[in-house]
Amino acid sequence: MRQRDVHLDLNGELAAALARATTDDDVAAVVKGAVADHFNSGSAYGGFQPDDFDPGDVGYTGQ
């Protein structure tokens, strides 16, 4: 697989969970869930679970 940037739009529930996150593990759980939701939303992919993504492969940047 090739690495690429994925821009995520967080819904209110995910944004609130991210705001409440107090540890790196909490942040990783929210981001992994958002990444799984992102890839499950298209017609070409599906069936991804948050644990399918390694938090070590995720870089966080705010915009």
Domain boundaries, the chain: 8-42
Over 80: is that where the pLDDT of 10 sits?
yes
pTM (predicted TM-score) = 0.66
pLDDT tens for each residue of 37-54: 888 876 566 777 778 777
Buried b (16+ CB within 10 A) or exposed e, 9-27: ebeeebeebbeeeeeeeeb
